[in-house]
Structure 1
Amino acid sequence: MLSRILPVLALSVLATIGALAQPLPYHADPSAREILPNLTPVPAIRFLTTADFPPFNFRDGTGELIGFHIDLARRICAKVDVGCTVQAWPWEQATSALVDNQGDALIAGLALTPENGEQFDFSAIYLALPGRFVTRSADVAGFSPDRLGGKSVAVRTGSSHAEFLARYLPNVTVTGFATEIEALAAVEANTADAYFGDAMRASFWLNDNLGCCGFAGEPYFRPDLFGEGLAIAVPAGHDAVRHAIDWALVKLKEDGSLDELYLRWFPVGFY
């Protein structure tokens, strides 16, 4: 069974630059700038996505397909200077559509698992998914993970973030919750000193709770625990399309377009 990296989130998206947003780290391989795409076999890129994964790919009130992934796909095509289409499929059919040559690339949060790697090749990472601490606003400035000994940290039970705490911060008092929302609410209610979990999901919660809490400390990138991040899938062996996408990602980072899209769709930056 193919799985998504993230569950569908019911949220309202502010497509504006937020005061707390931060630029992206550089995830693309800098050497890819030297890989000039051979455009002869890539007259166009047909992107497949879904319509139920806000703020990445979803439909607005008028039914138009919008989101971070939609904008990114179109920027990639513009940078490579090829034709571009973006078509939405139900999630359970999207990977089959790519296998059946209904599209050239899937930009929908497909997990970089060994099973998926048997069917697809992946572009460079364009968005990593770190773990981060959240505390009440008054505690953000003086936060240090070294000072958490004996304090309570809320986390989703059974998550990779709970494993991170057990592995690297065994002296903290871990309080498990069924969901990230419940764990974050415990910090807001002052029944937990901090929260640790997926930074992107926490950013959506913080967007609605700016007066309460904020990110504290640095982001933690642990691919072995939190996943490699987000990449674009192409059918295995379709190197021309993959190289064109990788080249475009490097160029979009260099000219600031990738950061601009991040700031537009994530008002509370999670880096």
Structure 2
Amino acid sequence: MLKSLTFITALMMAMPASAETLRLATSADYPPWESTNSAGEMVGFDIDLGNAICKKIEADCEWTNQAYDGLLPALEAGQYDAIISAISITDERRKRIGFSVPYAQAPASFGASGDAFGEIADRQALEAAIDGKTVGVQGSSLFEGLVANHFPEAKIKTYERADQIVADLGLGRLDAAVMESTTWTSMAEANPKADLTTFGPTLTFAEYPELGEGIGVGFQKDNTELKARVDAAIMELLEDGTVAELSQTWFGLDATP
């Protein structure tokens, strides 16, 4: 019996330990941050970054595609371990969830179909141009608050997905919309018939604090152990150039914070 127990113990020690599974959620409708390709696979900057984080902490990524406005409630309910979906770090969101250190910055822009707005050089001219216009934003995104706070005369229309915003711009159902600058570029390439153009000055955290302190991974507030591990992984990926390389691949620029 002793020999049998010794053999079983040795066999178990020789077997590779099963990897931890990290349940990640994203809203795969916001290229180039995250989207689905023709094969139905989720691709994008955040997907590659999430996979790189999993590799660093020796976990297996288990991805779920979840509507953006449901990400925070689902995380709070414990359906996922973390959410990675171009989520800006803000004080308001910190009341509900925890965040990693920032891994990217994401300035935003107004955009439209065609060049109806022309050249707009400064913030004051932008506010005047948007006065009374119907502006599309993704629901539960930072842009809803940004437009409400700084462009109060605009009529806000919310959407579940960014591609719905683009479709309504092309059909003339919206005058303008707000999205991250990198997403405008990607959407313009994917939807040439919509004739998308951006206008006005770039919207940044310096002038519009609603845009947050950077993009981070979201966790349940009490999951400090996972946050510490992911923070360490992100810092390594920033230091070894992985994040810069991924951002050049997907955005054509260095989006590191």
TM over 0.5: yes
Q: How far is the alpha carbon of 1:225 from its aligned partner?
A: 2.9
Distance, in Å, in 2 between the alignment partners of 1:123 and 1:254 is: 16
Partner of 2:45: 68
Native 8 Å contact 1:131 1:197 kept in 2: yes
**Structure of higher CA gyration radius:** 2
Aligned residue type for 2:100: S
**83, 89, 112: which is aligned to 1:106?**
83
Q: How far is the alpha carbon of 1:245 from its aligned partner?
A: 1.5
Partner of 2:229: 244
Equivalent pairs: percent with the same residue? 18
1:122 aligns with 2:112: no
Distance, in Å, in 2 between the alignment partners of 1:120 and 1:69 is: 19
Q: How far is the alpha carbon of 1:134 from its aligned partner?
A: 4.3
1:152 aligns with 2:129: yes
Ranges in structure 2 where 5+ consecutive residues have no aligned partner: 1-17, 138-143, 159-164
Q: How far is the alpha carbon of 1:63 from its aligned partner?
A: 4.5
Give per-residue Cα distances to partners, 1:42-68, cap 9 Å, x unaligned: x96633234751334555444544332
Q: TM-score, normalised by structure 2?
A: 0.56
Structure 1 residues 119 and 205: alpha-carbon distance in aligned structure 2, compared to 1, 3 A threshold: closer
Native 8 Å contact 1:161 1:197 kept in 2: no
Partner of 2:188: 206
Q: Cα RMSD between the aligned structures?
A: 4.9
**249, 253, 270: which is aligned to 2:238?**
253
Give per-residue Cα distances to partners, 1:135-189, cap 9 Å, x unaligned: 877x98x75216727963355179434335437xxxxxx6647465488559x9x
Aligned residues: 215
**26, 46, 65: which is aligned to 2:21?**
46
Structure 1 residues 206 and 163: alpha-carbon distance in aligned structure 2, compared to 1, 3 A threshold: same
Moved more, 259-268 or 246-255: 259-268
- For residues 123-142 of structure 1, the aligned pairs below 5 Å read 123-134=100-111
Match of 1:218, SS?
strand
Native 8 Å contact 2:104 2:214 kept in 1: yes
Match of 2:216, SS?
coil
Native 8 Å contact 1:95 1:106 kept in 2: no
Distance, in Å, in 1 between the alignment partners of 2:146 and 2:76 is: 32
Structure 1 residues 52 and 177: alpha-carbon distance in aligned structure 2, compared to 1, 3 A threshold: closer
Ranges in structure 1 where 5+ consecutive residues have no aligned partner: 1-42, 168-173
Distance, in Å, in 2 between the alignment partners of 1:129 and 1:149 is: 20
Native 8 Å contact 1:50 1:94 kept in 2: no
Q: How far is the alpha carbon of 1:86 from its aligned partner?
A: 1.3
Distance, in Å, in 1 between the alignment partners of 2:146 and 2:232 is: 33
**218, 227, 234: which is aligned to 2:219?**
234
Partner of 1:34: none
Moved more, 236-245 or 176-185: 176-185
Q: How far is the alpha carbon of 1:118 from its aligned partner?
A: 6.2
Structure 1 residues 175 and 260: alpha-carbon distance in aligned structure 2, compared to 1, 3 A threshold: same
Structure with greater proportional helix content: 2
Give per-residue Cα distances to partners, 1:98-119, cap 9 Å, x unaligned: 865x764333466767897566
1:220 aligns with 2:197: no
- For residues 3-14 of structure 1, the aligned pairs below 5 Å read none
Structure 1 residues 205 and 184: alpha-carbon distance in aligned structure 2, compared to 1, 3 A threshold: farther
1:88 aligns with 2:63: yes
Q: TM-score, normalised by structure 1?
A: 0.54
Partner of 1:20: none
Match of 2:151, SS?
helix
